[in-house]
């Protein structure tokens, strides 16, 4: 408890000390920068074919980001799960709700509770939109059947100045971010789990969550050992192990989605796991889709100071030193290629640098070209509300840092167009 309170204090202090910091929000103040060449391989030659990309360049980029940014993750456990609730009518009979507990090791009880809604009357297996949530599964819908989350929750929005487990009053508080009825109506199943089940989001020196299940790795922790973002990404892949074997879902047509820090995690999960058919990054910003070398909005230094547990130690060498980065977010995005990738931003979310997210997508086009895809064809930022529905899609919504039904409409329109057709 004392260490939890200390961490809470650290969060509060880091937030308040940030007030004095200044961040750039002027396009004119973006420094001159050069993006590392995406296709240039370590031997100096350029990847010119999809084969060269798949066999050499992609692996080089993955390795670089693993060593310098997210850290190395352990192998996944053998799938072990428990059905907590069999398929049950929900959402006025339009859906079936199911709940499953997926364990992170063969012996330990640390587990991720998955909440699944799928259309009740679909003739074919439904495609899936899968993403982690911020406040526990019970926050996703005001549905009393949802199991209450058992892990650490940061209940700031409940105006409780401390950290405790989820409460009844948190039911449905994030329903705006999870318009499940809308997704069901569009023919999609929705699968979600609480990110704190995987690793509680505070700096405890990587002692709790799934880190605790790998004592050898923690004992020999180095500058390249995984941080919390990699742990969330890894936990998503463990969930995916369950999704792909579940007979009521179409495991070949899964879109992985993540918002904000969970957008960063979703991108890394997609980089590490080829089974996602589509990738959706919503307002993932610095350390996610936005170009860090632009130093617009959140910076690498600020990320590392506020959230020292997110990335591996090596990433800290780039604090206030973005020009030294041998990579930028286009490297991270390129690990999705040739899969369809949708990047969404919001006009008022300058902290996450919408323009930097758009430019990063543009800078990723060479990887898509190797596969004969155009990537993102728009050369200038589209107007808010206009989905650029290319293989690399981009959507800018009016408004603030959030997820809304308008975003989900863009997700569904994008998936309708780009998911592989069912035979």
Residues 395 and 407: beta-carbon distance below 8 Å:
yes
Closest CA to 277 of 407, 408, 130, 419: 419
User: Binding of ligand GCU at residue 261 (CB under 6 A)?
Assistant: yes
Complex with ligand GCU: residue 101 or 261, whichever CB lies closer: 261
- Quickly tell me which residue has 């360049």 as its tokens: 57
User: Binding of ligand GCU at residue 179 (CB under 6 A)?
Assistant: no
Measured at the alpha carbon of residue 91, what is the angle toward residues 87 and 94, in degrees to the nearest 5?
Answer: 75
| Backbone torsion region of residue 315, taken as left when φ is above 0, otherwise alpha when ψ lies between -120 and 50, otherwise beta | alpha
Complex with ligand GCU: residue 184 or 403, whichever CB lies closer: 403
Query: Restricting to residues 291-330, which ones interact with ligand GCU according to CB under 6 A?
Result: 298, 303, 306
Helix (H) or strand (E) holding 331: helix 329-334
- Whole-number minimum distance, CB 306 to ligand GCU, in Å? 6
Complex with ligand GCU: residue 53 or 134, whichever CB lies closer: 134
Complex with ligand GCU: residue 202 or 368, whichever CB lies closer: 202
Q: Quick count: other Cβ atoms within 10 Å of Cβ 219? A: 7
Task: For residues 392 and 376, give the distance between their C-alpha atoms in angstroms, rounded to a whole number.
Answer: 5
Q: Which is catalytic among the residues 14, 165, 316, 401?
A: 401
Query: Restricting to residues 266-285, which ones interact with ligand GCU according to CB under 6 A?
Result: 285
Q: Which is catalytic among the residues 228, 260, 272, 334?
A: 260
Token pair listed for 191? 């699968």
User: Binding of ligand GCU at residue 113 (CB under 6 A)?
Assistant: no
- Whole-number minimum distance, CB 297 to ligand GCU, in Å? 9
Contacts of 172 (CB under 8 A, 6+ apart): 138, 139, 140, 141, 142, 143
Q: Quick count: other Cβ atoms within 10 Å of Cβ 37? A: 11
237 tagged catalytic: no
Measured at the alpha carbon of residue 140, what is the angle toward residues 135 and 142, in degrees to the nearest 5?
Answer: 120
Complex with ligand GCU: residue 259 or 395, whichever CB lies closer: 259
260 tagged catalytic: yes
Complex with ligand GCU: residue 187 or 308, whichever CB lies closer: 308
Measured at the alpha carbon of residue 69, what is the angle toward residues 281 and 217, in degrees to the nearest 5?
Answer: 115
Task: For residues 367 and 253, give the distance between their C-alpha atoms in angstroms, rounded to a whole number.
Answer: 22
- Whole-number minimum distance, CB 349 to ligand GCU, in Å? 9
Q: Quick count: other Cβ atoms within 10 Å of Cβ 240? A: 22
- Whole-number minimum distance, CB 402 to ligand GCU, in Å? 10
Query: Restricting to residues 344-383, which ones interact with ligand GCU according to CB under 6 A?
Result: 351
- Whole-number minimum distance, CB 195 to ligand GCU, in Å? 10
Q: What is the DSSP string of 87-120?
A: EEEETTTTEEEEEEEEESSSS---EEEEEEEEET
- Whole-number minimum distance, CB 351 to ligand GCU, in Å? 6
Complex with ligand GCU: residue 260 or 314, whichever CB lies closer: 260
User: Binding of ligand GCU at residue 260 (CB under 6 A)?
Assistant: yes
- Whole-number minimum distance, CB 261 to ligand GCU, in Å? 3
User: Binding of ligand GCU at residue 286 (CB under 6 A)?
Assistant: yes
Complex with ligand GCU: residue 131 or 251, whichever CB lies closer: 131
User: Binding of ligand GCU at residue 246 (CB under 6 A)?
Assistant: no
- Whole-number minimum distance, CB 327 to ligand GCU, in Å? 18
Closest CA to 208 of 134, 132, 287, 108: 108
Q: Kindly state the number of chain residues that form the binding site for ligand GCU, as judged by CB under 6 A.
A: 8
Question: What is the spatial order of strands in the sheet that 254-259 belongs to?
Answer: 81-90, 95-103, 111-119, 189-194, 128-133, 254-259, 278-282, 341-346, 392-397
Q: Which residues are catalytic?
A: 260, 401
Q: Which residues bind ligand GCU (CB under 6 A)?
A: 260-261, 285-286, 298, 303, 306, 351
């Amino acid at each position: 408890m004392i260490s939890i309170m200390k961490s809470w204090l650290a969060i509060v202090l880091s937030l308040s000390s940030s007030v004095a910091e200044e961040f750039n929000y002027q396009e004119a103040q973006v420094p001159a920068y050069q993006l590392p060449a995406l296709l240039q391989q370590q031997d100096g030659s350029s990847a010119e074919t999809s084969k060269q990309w798949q066999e050499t360049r992609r692996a080089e980029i993955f390795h670089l980001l693993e060593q310098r940014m997210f850290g190395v993750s352990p192998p996944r456990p053998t799938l072990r799960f428990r059905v907590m609730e069999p398929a049950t009518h929900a959402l006025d009979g339009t859906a079936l709700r199911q709940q499953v507990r997926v364990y992170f090791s063969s012996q330990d009880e640390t587990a991720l509770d998955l909440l699944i809604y799928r259309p009740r009357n679909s003739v074919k297996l439904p495609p899936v939109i899968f993403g982690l949530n911020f406040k526990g599964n019970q926050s996703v819908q005001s549905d009393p059947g949802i199991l209450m989350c058992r892990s650490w929750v940061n209940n700031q929005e409940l105006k409780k100045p401390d950290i405790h487990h989820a409460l009844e009053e948190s039911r449905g508080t994030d329903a705006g971010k999870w318009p499940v009825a809308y997704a069901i109506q569009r023919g999609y199943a929705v699968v979600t789990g609480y990110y704190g089940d995987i690793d509680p989001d505070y700096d405890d020196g990587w002692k709790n969550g799934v880190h605790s299940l790998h004592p050898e790795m923690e004992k020999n922790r180095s500058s390249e050992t995984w941080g919390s973002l990699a742990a969330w990404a890894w936990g998503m892949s463990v969930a995916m192990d369950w999704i792909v074997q579940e007979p009521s879902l179409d495991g070949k047509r899964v879109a992985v989605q993540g918002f904000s820090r969970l957008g960063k995690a979703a991108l890394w999960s997609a980089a590490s796991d080829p089974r996602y058919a589509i990738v959706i990054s919503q307002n993932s910003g610095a350390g996610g889709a936005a170009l860090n070398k632009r130093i617009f909005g959140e910076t690498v230094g600020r990320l590392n100071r506020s959230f020292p547990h997110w990335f591996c130690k090596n990433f800290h060498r780039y604090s206030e030193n973005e020009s030294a980065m041998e990579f930028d977010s286009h490297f991270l995005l390129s690990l999705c290629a040739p899969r369809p990738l949708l990047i969404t931003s919001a006009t008022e979310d300058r902290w996450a640098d919408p323009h930097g997210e758009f430019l990063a997508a543009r800078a990723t086009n060479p990887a898509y070209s190797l596969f004969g895809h155009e990537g993102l064809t728009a050369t200038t930022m589209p107007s808010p509300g206009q989905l650029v529905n290319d293989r690399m899609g981009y959507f800018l919504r009016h408004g603030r840092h959030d997820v809304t039904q308008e975003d989900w409409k863009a997700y569904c329109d994008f998936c309708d167009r780009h998911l592989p057709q069912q035979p």
